Structure 1
Amino acid sequence: MVHPCIDATEDNLFGSLEPEAFYARYGVTYIEEMVQNARGLRQCTRSWIPVDQNPKGVVMVCHGYGADSGWLVQLTSIGFASQGFAVYAIDHQGHGKSEGLKCYIPDIKAVIDDCIEFFDAKRQNHKDLPAFLYGESLGGALALLIHLKQPGIWAGIVINGPMCGISVKFKPPWPAEILLHLIARFIPTWPIVPTKDIAAVSFKEPWKRKLCVKNPHRYTGKPRMGTALVCIQTVKEIEARSSEVTAPLLIVHGELDVVTDPEGSRRLYETAASSDKTLRIYPGMWHQLIGEPPENVDKVFGEIYAWLDTHASQTS
């Protein structure tokens, strides 16, 4: 149940290996392509396909705020592919190699539509296979909203530290939060929302924190007013519609997460209509579960791999 982050170093995503040798080590073929969305923006899409076996299922990956699908999320995607799943991801608008003002999300519905358009196209290549959604942080919220827009399509959803609630330890001071609604209407792209540095409070292991900040496409500025408002509105929508979630659901969350609130995951678990749902709140773990020591990473992703395997076999 080894996660590929075991081979990374603080200086290199692929450790001592060249990218192609790293993919070969895990029995994965990597493909990167640019597509144009309905709004005319070019977006980076990525695929990780098992080399010497027919895929047992498909995993569609939604990355989080400020990140992209080509860095640490890529290691998780390689892990899924090494377990026999065809894996696909897209850099959201303004993230990674995709076009758009850096880390500006003017409308969450447009991001959801981008994901659905790309994921639907890739699912056509695997019509007989069960398809799963996987999302981290903001990506967890996106996975839920994709499911709510496409009920009955997905064989299951795995959400990791999902943005179902924003931690009070990470929110801006209350006067700023109140003013946000007003100011964001007039200067939505202004990057001044006061928050803590996400990497510093997300990764427990210092070397992984250093690797995170070496991502050449990582956003390092303050959150933009409009993006922060969209995140708050997204949390409220999920809270209001959680009872509409019906797909098999696995929620994993670090108990000491100060970015997204574990209580939001508990509320989702309690209110989701899914008859098949599992909640794992891991004692002592932080927001980025990939940022934990090896034994914790193995525990978390071992459970995720096992859940995907079980649900893929149930629907195949």
Structure 2
Amino acid sequence: MVRRKDGILKCFRNFLRLGFLSKGRREKKKKKRIMAPPVRIAGVDQELRRILEANMDEVPNRRRAREAFKDIQLGIDHILFKTPSDGVKTNESFEVNSRGLEVFSKSWLPKTTRPKAMVYYCHGYGDTCTFFFEGLARKLALSGYGVFAMDYPGFGMSEGLHGYIPSFDRLVDNVVELYSKFKEDPDFSTLPSFLFGQSMGGAVALKVHLKQPNEWSGAVLVAPMCKIADDMVPPPIVTKVLIGVAKILPKRKLVPQKDLAEAAFRETKKREQVAYNVIAYKDKPRLRTAVEMLKTTQEIEHKLDKVSLPMLILHGECDVVTDPSVSKALYEKASSSDKKFIQYKDAAHSLLEGEPDDMIERVFSDIISWLDEHCEERP
């Protein structure tokens, strides 16, 4: 059986090399090879470098890396980390879920006032609810909102094989389980509750809503993964083979992928700072993960009319990671009577992390304005 799997693996790798890139894409790939190597974190001592180079497949090394680098992360020169933390109360916790996995979560609350509402965050593919989101959560808390976030199993500091999504529906069930439990807390149960999804987290948020159609006050969707951009998806013939091989080798890292940071971050300096996100999953997608994400976007694309909650959809006009035209279709087809779509000229995928400072401030201001309006409307 091992020899059979190795043979399949070798054939599939050769197939990907031959079939994934069109002639035009091969030319781009040749050009890419002569580009400078990825930026590495400079100025770290030998012990920190050893931690950084450890295998992140299992969670102990990810947790060790985050603990070692969290102060370094918060000290980088990025607008999100210039947000003061004095007025914010935080709490980090680990909790074993119904599937026996220890899941990491974090909350940010205004220190001296009761929150206007609670915002429940769904992070993007490969990401974590720490690092860049730490700055966003602080800004939300200082604007009067309580924030609760988690790392999905297999991501960040939650248990599970790094970057592995055996079932997207199961991932969503994990989110529903933890967020429903938090919403029952007497301190927050009467407050409006909003989902906040970025990229793949937008798909998570939409599926949470579809499972709980009457449980949420609204959703903020930033570059939601309603459809993966065509340029990021292998050709149909490769996709068919990928789906078949994923049944045999689900955890293998074989799916070709462009550099997501290069595609998502418009500003070079901010793109280089992605290196500091030391527990993000940055390798090739695992086969089962890629199949689950593709299936999820196809499912969502066919259920846009079932979306009924108030929502704010934000997308960069030049996003080449998730398709802005499908965000527009979501806005047009959703049955929500309360919906708003903003498309930002010249902006790329990472609207809140990778754009020039003035664009990040503009996007964040649009989010706060929408949340404030929807809290004022509540009786």
Give the TM-score taking structure 1 as reference length: 0.92
Match of 1:67 among 127, 131, 139: 127
1:180 is aligned to 242
* Cα distance in 1, alignment partners of residues 324 and 184 from structure 2: 35
What code does the residue aligned with 1:152 have?
Answer: N
Sequence identity percentage: 39
1:306 is aligned to 369
* Cα distance in 2, alignment partners of residues 172 and 12 from structure 1: 37
Q: Following TM superposition, by how much is the alpha carbon of 1:178 offset from its aligned partner in structure 2, in angstroms?
A: 2.2
What code does the residue aligned with 2:355 have?
Answer: E
Q: Following TM superposition, by how much is the alpha carbon of 1:173 offset from its aligned partner in structure 2, in angstroms?
A: 3.5
1:295 counterpart = 2:358: yes
Kindly indicate whether the alpha-carbon contact (under 8 Å) linking 2:83 and 2:135 is maintained by their aligned counterparts in 1: no
What code does the residue aligned with 2:213 have?
Answer: P
What code does the residue aligned with 1:59 have?
Answer: V
2:315 is aligned to 253
Which deviations, in whole Å up to 9, do the C-alpha atoms of 1:273-299 show, x marking residues without a partner?
Answer: 000011111110000002100111111
Q: Following TM superposition, by how much is the alpha carbon of 1:15 offset from its aligned partner in structure 2, in angstroms?
A: 2.6
1:41 counterpart = 2:101: yes
What code does the residue aligned with 2:270 have?
Answer: K
Residues 192-207 of structure 1: matches in 2 within 5 Å? Answer: 192-207=254-269
Q: Following TM superposition, by how much is the alpha carbon of 1:75 offset from its aligned partner in structure 2, in angstroms?
A: 1.6
Which deviations, in whole Å up to 9, do the C-alpha atoms of 1:66-124 show, x marking residues without a partner?
Answer: 00001112221222111111100110011001111110001111111111111112212
Question: Unpaired segments of 5 or more residues in structure 2?
Answer: 1-70
What code does the residue aligned with 1:167 have?
Answer: A
Runs of 4+ in 1 over 4 A off after TM superposition: 21-24
* Cα distance in 1, alignment partners of residues 268 and 103 from structure 2: 31
Match of 2:279 among 192, 195, 217: 217
2:155 is aligned to 95
1:191 is aligned to 253
* Cα distance in 1, alignment partners of residues 111 and 323 from structure 2: 38
Kindly indicate whether the alpha-carbon contact (under 8 Å) linking 1:164 and 1:260 is maintained by their aligned counterparts in 2: yes
Give the 3-state SS of the residue equivalent to 2:146 in structure 1.
strand
1:166 counterpart = 2:166: no
Match of 1:28 among 67, 88, 110: 88
Q: Following TM superposition, by how much is the alpha carbon of 1:46 offset from its aligned partner in structure 2, in angstroms?
A: 0.6
Root mean square deviation, CA, Å = 1.7
Q: Following TM superposition, by how much is the alpha carbon of 1:12 offset from its aligned partner in structure 2, in angstroms?
A: 4.2
* Cα distance in 1, alignment partners of residues 163 and 342 from structure 2: 30
1:236 counterpart = 2:298: yes
What code does the residue aligned with 1:67 have?
Answer: D
Question: Unpaired segments of 5 or more residues in structure 1?
Answer: 1-10
Give the 3-state SS of the residue equivalent to 1:266 in structure 2.
helix
Kindly indicate whether the alpha-carbon contact (under 8 Å) linking 2:318 and 2:347 is maintained by their aligned counterparts in 1: yes
What code does the residue aligned with 2:101 have?
Answer: L
Q: Following TM superposition, by how much is the alpha carbon of 1:22 offset from its aligned partner in structure 2, in angstroms?
A: 7.4
Match of 2:219 among 139, 157, 160: 157
1:4 is aligned to none
1:135 is aligned to 197
Give the 3-state SS of the residue equivalent to 1:127 in structure 2.
coil
* Cα distance in 2, alignment partners of residues 187 and 216 from structure 1: 26
What code does the residue aligned with 1:32 have?
Answer: E
* Cα distance in 1, alignment partners of residues 300 and 364 from structure 2: 25
Kindly indicate whether the alpha-carbon contact (under 8 Å) linking 1:23 and 1:29 is maintained by their aligned counterparts in 2: no
Which deviations, in whole Å up to 9, do the C-alpha atoms of 1:112-167 show, x marking residues without a partner?
Answer: 11111111122122121100000000100000100111111111110001000110
Q: Following TM superposition, by how much is the alpha carbon of 1:310 offset from its aligned partner in structure 2, in angstroms?
A: 0.6
Flag the 1:170–1:153 CA change in 2: closer, same or farther, 3 A: same
Flag the 1:176–1:200 CA change in 2: closer, same or farther, 3 A: same
Give the 3-state SS of the residue equivalent to 2:234 in structure 1.
coil
Higher relative contact order (CA 8 A, sep 6+): 1
Kindly indicate whether the alpha-carbon contact (under 8 Å) linking 1:12 and 1:211 is maintained by their aligned counterparts in 2: no
1:53 is aligned to 113
Give the 3-state SS of the residue equivalent to 1:289 in structure 2.
coil
Kindly indicate whether the alpha-carbon contact (under 8 Å) linking 1:26 and 1:82 is maintained by their aligned counterparts in 2: no
* Cα distance in 2, alignment partners of residues 194 and 95 from structure 1: 20
Give the 3-state SS of the residue equivalent to 1:48 in structure 2.
strand
What code does the residue aligned with 1:299 have?
Answer: R
Which deviations, in whole Å up to 9, do the C-alpha atoms of 1:233-261 show, x marking residues without a partner?
Answer: 11111111111111001100011111111
Q: Following TM superposition, by how much is the alpha carbon of 1:207 offset from its aligned partner in structure 2, in angstroms?
A: 2.1
Q: Following TM superposition, by how much is the alpha carbon of 1:172 offset from its aligned partner in structure 2, in angstroms?
A: 2.2
Flag the 1:22–1:49 CA change in 2: closer, same or farther, 3 A: farther
Kindly indicate whether the alpha-carbon contact (under 8 Å) linking 2:165 and 2:289 is maintained by their aligned counterparts in 1: yes
Flag the 1:24–1:292 CA change in 2: closer, same or farther, 3 A: closer
Q: Following TM superposition, by how much is the alpha carbon of 1:205 offset from its aligned partner in structure 2, in angstroms?
A: 1.6
Kindly indicate whether the alpha-carbon contact (under 8 Å) linking 2:83 and 2:139 is maintained by their aligned counterparts in 1: no
